[in-house]
Amino acid sequence: MEDRLAWLMKYFQLRARVFQAGPQCHSVSYDAQFGLGHIHVLKKGKLQVESMETTGQSTLILEKPSVFFYMNPVTHSLYPLDNDVELVCASFDFGAGLSSPLSQALPETVLLKLEKIPTLSTTLSLMFSESEENHCGRQVVLDRLMEVVIIQLLRDLMDQQRLQVGLLAGLAEPKLSKAISAIHSDPSYPWTLQNLADIAGMSRARFATKFRDIVGMTMGNYLTEWRIGVAQSFLVRGKSIQLVADAVGYANASALSRAFTAQVGLSPTDWKNKHNTTNHPELLSLT
């Protein structure tokens, strides 16, 4: 089977930072921070979770080992309800400040009981074991293992078809997955509704309808979002606007700039400068 996550991980580099690993004896709150998601793995104990989502305040009571995460920034609080709560918690991003399609692919809160995702058992066992020790390199190992957990969760959401709408739902649908993977693998190609429908083995009309219904946007809108997201990932790596334009399918730097500004609200140069000063404030002292 084709690796449906390979191109997402190539252009949008996952980074996790574990900041809690072990007993959680007191309540704690996390503010929404631009570009950051959060993931929490409850090893044992009873936990109450309060989160401020766009639809209002949400409350969860967890009494079994579970994993819950927020792909986008969400203000949330954790309240231990007994003395046995043990957690591994991390923040993560797919390239700070980048418009990753994954940021729109999931509900605000994803909650799964660990018993429902046995494919994570080996990785979680390693992570829990590492969290209980104080070996050299512990932080790095925990961070890398959490990145593996996140990838395995995304894979599980696709393989088990747990989502009905969004990018991962599209990648879980065999015919749509072929077309989406084609877009991901070659953003510079002059994709049309017809040639993507041919790749999917569907009629043009059926493909357009099914893509919109499952992915949640038209094929044209998704193609633009993917290209601009990839353009951002290239810009932060120092590539020139002209080279980026060629790499993501725009005729020249001016065409990319128009599409980029329409999508992001800033020109590529202004966005890059803002990104650098927001995510790398030390650069201010060099200007």
Give the relative orientation of helices 204-215 and 219-235 as an angle to the nearest 10 degrees. Answer: 60
Closest CA to 66 of 191, 162, 163, 153: 153
Q: What's the CA gap between 66 and 42, in Å, rounded?
A: 5
Read off the pLDDT band of 286 (50, 70, 90): very low
pLDDT digits (tens, 9 = 90+) for 111-129: 999 999 999 999 999 999 9
- The percent of residues above 70 in pLDDT, for the chain, comes to 94
- Which has the minimum average pLDDT: 92-101, 167-176, 224-233? 92-101
Instruction: Please tell me the predicted confidence (pLDDT) of residue 34.
Output: 79
Read off the pLDDT band of 96 (50, 70, 90): low
pTM score: 0.89
- Which has the minimum average pLDDT: 24-33, 94-103, 195-204? 94-103
Instruction: Please tell me the predicted confidence (pLDDT) of residue 285.
Output: 37
Residues 189-201, mean pLDDT to the nearest whole number: 97
Instruction: Please tell me the predicted confidence (pLDDT) of residue 86.
Output: 96
Cβ count within 10 A of residue 118: 9
Instruction: Please tell me the predicted confidence (pLDDT) of residue 131.
Output: 92
- Domains of the chain, earliest start first: 6-159 (2.60.120.10), 173-279 (1.10.10.60)
Q: What's the CA gap between 173 and 2, in Å, rounded?
A: 13
Q: Is 46 helix (H, G, I), strand (E, B) or coil?
A: coil
Instruction: Please tell me the predicted confidence (pLDDT) of residue 155.
Output: 93
Give the pairing type, strands 28-30 and 56-62.
Answer: unpaired
Instruction: Please tell me the predicted confidence (pLDDT) of residue 287.
Output: 34
pLDDT digits (tens, 9 = 90+) for 208-251: 999 999 999 999 999 999 999 999 999 988 999 999 999 999 99
Q: Which of 97-101, 164-168, 234-238, 241-245 has the highest mean pLDDT?
A: 241-245
Instruction: Please tell me the predicted confidence (pLDDT) of residue 97.
Output: 66
Cβ-contact 78, 59 below 8 angstroms: no
Residue type, 272: K
Instruction: Please tell me the predicted confidence (pLDDT) of residue 35.
Output: 79
Q: What's the CA gap between 90 and 135, in Å, rounded?
A: 19
Residues 255-262, mean pLDDT to the nearest whole number: 95
pLDDT digits (tens, 9 = 90+) for 13-61: 899 999 999 999 899 999 998 778 999 999 999 999 999 887 778 899 9
| Half-sphere exposure (Cβ direction) of 175: Cα atoms closer than 13 Å | 15
